[in-house]
């Protein structure tokens, strides 16, 4: 292959544009050996060839032509995006620098002045064809890379769409599984709750049944002795004494069962059963403390109530009163330390849920200086049926009820802090206006 052949694998084509046959023949004789040559004797014909199916690789363009000068031909070719990279070399007898600058401004690659040397013509042509081949190769690579990138982009888009569909399906499946798990947990919690209630009720009801059975046997025995004439005063007095003890046990057992049933009903109660209205919190707390004054005096408990000002809540006073009742009862049952005065403090003040100072809430802290709560059980104090006084009358439902009422009906939150030997404090954060639609669920802590 000739040195003038293209690296792209074809013989270059040169278009000679001139309206003088002599110039055409001279340039053709120089170029025919190494290149294909096309001829146009005017500008219009040149533009048709350039815009045709097989455009030239380089154009030798005369400036001074009668119908359309070389500048206009150059301008129109460069205006075509598909042909503007074809190198144009002006061939002219003009030697003015202004003319050369004008042509270069229009996009011409070079100038050859007449009379020209064949060696110079071939050297200029070879140089610009090499540059043109490199430009086309780079352009081809760019197009190829663009196509590859487009394919890759499409592949990624398809992959993303596929993954999106898969994730959507997986999420839907997870939602179904989670729904089943939640339902399973609720059923398990219900079973645990029912089992706990049954266990708690079993003791007082079992004691009652055993005592009634014993009394029934004794009464039958007494009837037999009476019928046989063997009943004496001492035997009758013993029966009366035993009956009083049995009745006292029955009374305490039935009362305990009734308390458990009442507590369980409070857990499952719907907030609609409570009346909502505006009330003063300070007045409610003072009334509650007054109700328990006898309990405090009997147990030598010292109480202190501090508050900044009166707070008015649009909420459920019965629910808050029940919370205070359970917290105070929990204190005098679990907090006392032998030979130490138990002090119970209530501190009421305002707080905000964010740094902006907005969303005001009421903060009520109930603290004591009692025995405190062991760290390993601190996180379980609000769980249903959890108690550290098993067999001593504790049901493990008091703080569970408190948590449900605070987080459900009152729309707030409750937390506990404690240190063994240094007492405990329960912290309530309550909104000034309770939620409009809230129900209490037995699963709030169990699930």
SS3 assignment for 76-128: HHHHCCCCCCCCEEEEECCCCHHHHHHHHHHCCCEEEECCCCHHHHHHHHHHH
On whether both 331 and 377 belong to a single domain, the answer is yes
For residue 373, the model assigns a pLDDT of 83
* Model pLDDT, residue 253: 80
Q: Is residue 329 located within the same domain as residue 224?
A: no
Q: Are residues 300 and 438 in the same domain?
A: yes
Same domain, yes or no: 302 and 413: yes
Q: What is the pLDDT of residue 38?
A: 94
Distances, alpha carbon 312 to alpha carbons 283, 309, 433, in Å: 10, 10, 9
Q: Are residues 363 and 414 in the same domain?
A: yes
In a domain, 423, yes or no: yes
Q: Report pTM.
A: 0.42
**Co-location of 331 and 388 in the same domain:** yes
Distance CA 128, CA 27 (A): 17
What pLDDT is recorded for position 51?
A: 93
306 in helix, strand or coil? strand
Domain identity same for 209 and 305: no
Q: Which of 212, 245, 268 is the last residue of a domain?
A: 268
- Which CATH number belongs to the domain containing residue 26 in this structure? 3.40.50.2300
Do 319 and 233 have their domain in common? no
The last residue of a domain, from among 251, 268, 285: 268
**Domain identity same for 226 and 276:** no
Domain count, the chain: 3
Co-location of 319 and 427 in the same domain:
yes
Domain presence at residue 344? yes
- The pLDDT assigned to 228 comes to 83
Please, are residues 124 and 112 in contact by the beta-carbon 8 Å criterion? Answer: yes
Which strand (E) or helix (H) includes residue 360? strand 360-368
Assigned domain for 169 exists: no
Sign of the alpha-carbon torsion through 175, 179, 180, 184: positive
pLDDT beneath 50, residues of the chain: 1-8, 182, 185, 189, 269-273, 390-393, 439-447
Residue 443, pLDDT score: 40
- Residue 177 φ then ψ, to 5°: -65, -45
Q: Are residues 194 and 95 in the same domain?
A: no
User: Does any domain span residue 87?
Assistant: yes
pLDDT for position 442: 41
Asked whether residue 7 is domain-assigned, the answer is no
Q: Flag whether 5 is in a domain.
A: no
Q: How far apart are CA 442 and CA 169, in angstroms?
A: 33
Residue 437's domain comprises 271-446
Structural domain includes residue 174: no
Contact assessment for residue 44 and residue 19, using Cβ atoms and an 8 Å cutoff:
no
Q: Does residue 64 form part of some domain?
A: yes
Q: What are phi and psi of 279, to 5 degrees?
A: -155, 160
- Token pair in block for residue 49: 């060839």
> Cα separation of 394 and 385, whole Å?
9
For residue 391, the domain's CATH number is 3.30.565.10
| pLDDT score of 6 | 45
CA separation for the pair 265, 363 (Å, rounded):
28
């Amino acid at each position: 292959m000739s040195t003038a052949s293209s690296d792209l694998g074809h013989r270059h084509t040169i278009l000679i544009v001139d309206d003088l046959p002599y110039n055409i023949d001279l340039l053709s004789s120089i170029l025919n050996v190494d290149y294909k040559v096309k001829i146009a004797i005017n500008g219009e014909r040149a533009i048709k060839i350039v815009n045709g199916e097989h455009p030239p690789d380089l154009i030798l363009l005369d400036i001074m032509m009668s119908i359309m000068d070389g500048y206009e031909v150059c301008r129109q070719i460069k205006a075509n995006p598909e042909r503007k990279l074809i190198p144009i070399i002006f061939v002219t007898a003009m030697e003015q620098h202004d003319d050369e600058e004008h042509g270069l401004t229009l996009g011409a690659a070079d100038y050859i002045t007449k009379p020209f040397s064949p060696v110079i013509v071939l050297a200029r042509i070879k140089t610009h064809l090499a540059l043109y081949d490199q430009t086309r190769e780079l352009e081809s690579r760019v197009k190829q890379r663009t196509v590859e990138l487009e394919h890759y982009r499409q592949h990624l888009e398809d992959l993303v769409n596929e993954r999106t569909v898969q994730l959507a399906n997986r999420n839907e499946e997870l939602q179904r599984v989670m729904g089943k798990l939640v339902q399973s947990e609720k059923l398990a919690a219900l079973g645990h709750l029912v089992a706990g209630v049954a266990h708690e009720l079993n003791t007082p009801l079992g004691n009652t049944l055993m005592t009634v059975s014993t009394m029934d046997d004794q009464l039958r025995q007494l009837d037999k002795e009476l019928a046989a004439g063997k009943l004496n005063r001492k035997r009758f007095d013993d029966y009366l004494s035993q009956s009083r003890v049995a009745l006292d046990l029955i009374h305490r057992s039935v009362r305990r069962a009734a308390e458990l049933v009442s507590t369980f009903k409070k857990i499952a109660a719907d907030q609609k059963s409570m009346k909502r209205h505006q009330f003063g919190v300070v007045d409610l707390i003072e009334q509650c403390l007054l109700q328990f004054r006898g309990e405090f005096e009997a147990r030598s408990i010292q109480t202190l109530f501090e508050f900044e000002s009166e707070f008015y809540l649009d909420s459920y006073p019965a629910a808050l009163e029940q919370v205070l009742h359970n917290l105070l009862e929990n204190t005098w049952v679990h907090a006392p330390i032998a030979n130490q005065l138990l002090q119970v403090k209530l501190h009421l003040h305002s707080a905000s849920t964010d740094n902006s100072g907005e969303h005001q809430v009421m903060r009520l802290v109930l603290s004591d200086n009692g025995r405190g709560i062991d760290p390993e059980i601190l996180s379980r104090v609000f769980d249903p049926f959890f108690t550290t006084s098993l067999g001593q009358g504790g049901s493990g439902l008091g703080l569970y009820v408190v948590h449900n009422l605070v987080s459900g009906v009152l729309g707030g939150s409750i937390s506990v802090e404690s240190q063994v030997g240094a007492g405990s404090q329960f912290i309530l954060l309550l909104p000034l206006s309770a939620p409009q639609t809230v129900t209490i669920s037995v699963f709030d802590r169990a699930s």
